């Protein structure tokens, strides 16, 4: 029983790590895009930061 429980925990952690990594990638890509395209999205980003 304990082995199954551990397997479930490991599976959840793997899923969580994957979604976390995707979130980080999405955020950094959004930052890069807003830096490239001038004041519009940069203002949006500033609003999110504050």
Gyration radius of the chain's alpha carbons: 18
Chain centroid to Cα 41, Å, comes to: 19
What pLDDT is recorded for position 50?
Answer: 47
pLDDT at 2 (0 to 100): 86
CA pair distance 31, 23, nearest whole angstrom: 12
Tell me what pLDDT residue 25 has: 84
Q: Find out whether 42 and 34 touch, Cβ atoms under 8 Å.
A: yes
Q: Mind listing the pLDDT tens digit for each residue in 15-44?
A: 988 888 888 888 888 777 766 655 555 555
């Amino acid at each position: 029983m304990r082995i199954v429980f551990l397997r479930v925990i490991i599976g959840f952690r793997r899923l969580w790590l994957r979604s976390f990594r995707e979130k980080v990638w999405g955020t950094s890509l959004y930052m890069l895009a807003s830096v490239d395209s001038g004041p519009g999205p940069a203002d949006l980003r500033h609003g999110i930061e504050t």
